[in-house]
Amino acid sequence: MTLITPSNPPTQLALQRLLSGLDSVITWVDINGNTEPLSGGLAPTEMGGYGEGLQLVDIKGLGAPFKHIDQQGAHQDGATWLDAPYDPIEIDMTLVAFGRDQIARRRVFRRWMDGWDAKRTGRLWWFTAELGHWWIDLRLLQEMRDTLAAGDARSVKFAWAARGDFPFWSSYDSISTKLVASNATTLADPAGNAAPNFMQVSNRGDQDSWTIILCHGPGTFTIGDNGGPRRITLPLNAGELARIETLPNRRTVVEVNTGANIYPRLVGRFSTPIAAGATVRIPITVTGAQAGVTSAVASLTPLRKWPE
């Protein structure tokens, strides 16, 4: 969780708007870990020349571009649609940097410049009362090319371009109840709240998503295909902790303690995503478990193409 300490105390009006839930609260956490509120009740204002910070004037490109991939025969009318992959996201912003005097404005501008890099990423956070927190990791897309007026001023308006390698906005993971072996063949919730042998996750994004599953041996685990009909099997020895990533283009099984690739042990493949908006109970069974030691838990990162 990001702790935000405004450089200027929020005004009574700003506090009222925060409590009303009307405004989107937009915050940049730079590559050095510095926090810059840009818009919403936490963002600073010029306050008659006494404020210091940055204000977001406008922003575009919050949704990543995509392209359609088609197949068309020589004599085919129209085309056969195959897929629509997303490109990296490119976000353009107009901002104002201001300070109590020219020295303060230069300090704000310098901090902003120092907080971006083409080789490292910071994080843009977006909060609304309806959807909560969403974020995207950004790097500098290109150098600033604005023409700035000669001489110093307490306020400078400029354009900024950022790139996100991954096209979607992320939020907090949905994490299933950790199931622990109660005997050699049963994985159960120690608190007794969740059903045994099922891991439940919810996808509150607007994109299909894939689970990451942690299994702690010993035992041979049989896992449902994210709610699909297939079953996938993985044997683990005592003390082994497997991290199973089900996303097809990142499909891996790693033994966490050693970093060893144990994907060859996996029998079957995951092929079913968790649909947008769905809650799924993933069946999981085990044989040869050790009571109180063998365990499993699943997580899912929700994704959205638009943050509010």
Place of tokens 């839930």: 21
- What are the structure tokens assigned to 220, written together? 């041979």
Mean pLDDT score of the chain, rounded to an integer?
Answer: 92
Looking at the fold, whether 185 and 158 belong to one and the same domain comes out as no
- As a whole number of angstroms, the distance between CA 300 and CA 247 comes to 11
Residue 1 included in any domain: no
Looking at the fold, whether 56 and 136 belong to one and the same domain comes out as yes
Looking at the fold, whether 164 and 244 belong to one and the same domain comes out as no
Looking at the fold, whether 18 and 164 belong to one and the same domain comes out as yes
Cβ–Cβ under 8 Å, residues 297 and 183: no
- The pLDDT of residue 23 is 87
Residue 177 included in any domain: yes
At which of 138, 168, 198 does a domain end? 168
Looking at the fold, whether 157 and 23 belong to one and the same domain comes out as yes
**Mean pLDDT, to the nearest integer, of 58-66?**
95
pLDDT tens for each residue of 145-162: 887 776 678 889 999 999
- As a whole number of angstroms, the distance between CA 261 and CA 285 comes to 23
pLDDT tens for each residue of 162-205: 999 999 999 999 999 999 999 999 999 999 999 999 999 999 99
Q: Is the pLDDT of residue 7 over 60?
A: no
Looking at the fold, whether 119 and 164 belong to one and the same domain comes out as yes
Is the model's pTM score more than 0.85?
Answer: yes
Of residues 251 and 186, which shows the higher confidence score? 186
State the total domains in the chain: 2
Residue 10 banded pLDDT, cuts 50, 70, 90: low
Residue 105 included in any domain: yes
**Mean pLDDT, to the nearest integer, of 110-122?**
97
**Mean pLDDT, to the nearest integer, of 127-152?**
89
Looking at the fold, whether 261 and 133 belong to one and the same domain comes out as no
Looking at the fold, whether 161 and 182 belong to one and the same domain comes out as no
Looking at the fold, whether 137 and 278 belong to one and the same domain comes out as no
At which of 168, 200, 235 does a domain end? 168
- As a whole number of angstroms, the distance between CA 23 and CA 29 comes to 19
Looking at the fold, whether 205 and 286 belong to one and the same domain comes out as yes
Looking at the fold, whether 199 and 162 belong to one and the same domain comes out as no
Between the alpha carbon of residue 290 and those of residues 122, 129, 197, 255, the distances in Å are 43, 44, 15, 18
Q: What range does the domain containing 274 cover?
A: 172-301
**Mean pLDDT, to the nearest integer, of 80-97?**
96
Q: What percent of the chain has pLDDT above 70?
A: 94
Of residues 133 and 150, which shows the higher confidence score? 133
Looking at the fold, whether 42 and 134 belong to one and the same domain comes out as yes
**Mean pLDDT, to the nearest integer, of 229-255?**
95
* DSSP 3-state of 105: helix
- As a whole number of angstroms, the distance between CA 120 and CA 64 comes to 20
